[in-house]
């Protein structure tokens, strides 16, 4: 087949396959994200998604939550690799047989279900971020025709709604509620934080002022409102406090996906990026314009300050609940 007649995603997949075979990308190394592929080869995100789908079906790469797509370890894709000695059996056969991705491109999708569509979409969002999600990308990941997912989901917006409901349903709230309002709020907040940790895109589903009527999210609110009920709070205050705690979790969690996006866009880890900013921060400290900032930052010595989102979340949650104590248990407040 002439080079110009080869679909773009197969040409790109061949180049990444070569990098893996030559050792430029070793097991565990991150491969270019869909956004990076789209930028480097000037193709659509759907095409970039088909590239990673093809490599994933060959066993060469695998998706890891909060990390991205990485080269598979030993045994993960040896059957489809090429080497300096020549192509393996699978690679040799590729010249006379369609690739795994093309073999499924027009396969019957009688077994396709809404649940499979949603789970495929969650997999893309977990590994690549919500911005990389598209209906065509979901179809490519499932190996079905581009329009097939629309038989089960009307639009991307509907799909995101179903994805949010599915992952929020992973939360487990015990039937026997912990004693005391604080323990119950702590459990609810930490449960929601853990879900955002597992699915960083969840913080991007919508603004606080336009809440989605997601059943599983209402289940979370039910848990939190029950903890606030019976303490003499008026209904508006109860809803405000529920939204306040949720917005704190969402506002902190939004940085999880932004961190991944920044690493993908710059190619730098957090440590490498901070190293690149050392001179700029050093100049600000030495300027004398910010004495308190310089004193606090200087107290860490050579080790420096390490911002840890989990620790910051716990500090913020504790501070918030300490502040609620007077409101929940102050004079004249009803007891549950």
Tell me, what's the pLDDT at 302?
Answer: 75
Tell me, what's the pLDDT at 327?
Answer: 87
Q: How far is CA 162 from the centre of its chain?
A: 16
- Are 305 and 297 spatial neighbours (Cβ–Cβ below 8 Å)? yes
**Residue whose pair of structure tokens reads 């971020």 in the numeric block:** 129
Tell me, what's the pLDDT at 81?
Answer: 35
* 40-45 long-range contacts, CB within 8 A, separation 24+: 41/8, 41/12, 43/8, 43/9, 43/12, 45/132, 45/134, 45/137
Tell me, what's the pLDDT at 74?
Answer: 67
Whole-angstrom CA distances from 77 to 9, 60, 63 are 19, 4, 13
Whole-angstrom CA distances from 127 to 2, 3, 157, 188 are 34, 31, 19, 25
Handedness of CA 12, 67, 255, 290 (dihedral sign): negative
d(CA 25, CA 7): 23
Question: Hey, what are 98's tokens?
Answer: 């369609």
Tell me, what's the pLDDT at 3?
Answer: 54
Tell me, what's the pLDDT at 1?
Answer: 44
Tens of pLDDT along the chain (336 residues) come to 445 567 888 889 889 988 888 888 888 888 888 777 877 888 876 677 788 888 887 888 887 765 678 888 765 443 333 333 333 333 333 333 333 333 344 444 558 899 999 999 999 998 888 888 999 899 999 988 889 999 999 999 999 999 999 999 999 888 887 889 999 999 999 999 999 999 999 998 887 788 888 899 999 999 999 999 988 899 999 999 999 999 999 999 988 888 777 776 777 777 778 888 888 988 998 999 999 999 998 888 877 788 888 999 999 999 999 999 988 887 655 444
* 274-281 long-range contacts, CB within 8 A, separation 24+: 274/304
Cβ-based neighbour number of residue 145 at 10 Å:
16
* 265-272 long-range contacts, CB within 8 A, separation 24+: 265/35
Tell me, what's the pLDDT at 109?
Answer: 53
Tell me, what's the pLDDT at 62?
Answer: 83
Tell me, what's the pLDDT at 83?
Answer: 33
Tell me, what's the pLDDT at 11?
Answer: 87
d(CA 138, CA 258): 22
């Amino acid at each position: 087949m002439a080079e110009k007649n080869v679909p773009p995603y197969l040409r790109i997949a061949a180049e990444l396959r070569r990098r893996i075979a030559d050792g430029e990308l070793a097991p565990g190394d991150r491969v270019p994200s869909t956004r990076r592929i789209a930028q480097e080869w000037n193709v659509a995100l759907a095409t970039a998604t088909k590239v990673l789908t093809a490599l994933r079906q060959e066993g060469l790469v695998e998706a890891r939550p909060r990390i991205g797509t990485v080269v598979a370890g030993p045994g993960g894709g040896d059957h489809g690799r090429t080497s300096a000695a020549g192509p393996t059996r699978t690679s040799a056969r590729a010249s006379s047989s369609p690739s795994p991705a093309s073999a499924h491109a027009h396969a019957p999708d009688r077994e396709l279900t809404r649940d499979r569509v949603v789970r495929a979409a969650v997999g893309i969002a977990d590994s690549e971020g919500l911005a990389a999600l598209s209906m065509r990308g979901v179809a490519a990941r499932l190996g079905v025709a581009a329009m097939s997912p629309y038989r089960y989901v009307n639009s991307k917006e509907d799909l995101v709604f179903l994805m949010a409901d599915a992952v929020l349903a992973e939360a487990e709230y015990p039937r026997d509620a912990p004693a005391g309002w604080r323990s119950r709020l702590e459990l609810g907040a930490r449960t929601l934080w853990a879900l955002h940790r597992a699915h960083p895109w969840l913080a991007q589903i919508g603004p606080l002022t336009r809440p989605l009527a997601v059943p599983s999210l209402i289940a979370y609110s039910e848990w939190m409102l029950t903890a606030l009920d019976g303490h003499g709070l008026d209904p508006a205050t109860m809803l405000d406090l529920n939204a306040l705690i949720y917005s704190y979790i969402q506002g902190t969690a939004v940085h999880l996906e932004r961190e991944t996006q920044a690493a993908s866009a710059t190619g730098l880890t957090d440590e490498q990026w901070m190293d690149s900013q050392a001179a700029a921060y050093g100049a600000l400290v030495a300027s004398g314009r910010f004495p308190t900032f310089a004193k606090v930052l200087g107290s860490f010595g050579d080790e420096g300050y390490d911002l840890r989102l989990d620790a910051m979340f716990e500090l913020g949650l504790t501070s918030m609940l300490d502040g609620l104590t007077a409101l929940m248990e102050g004079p004249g407040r009803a007891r549950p």
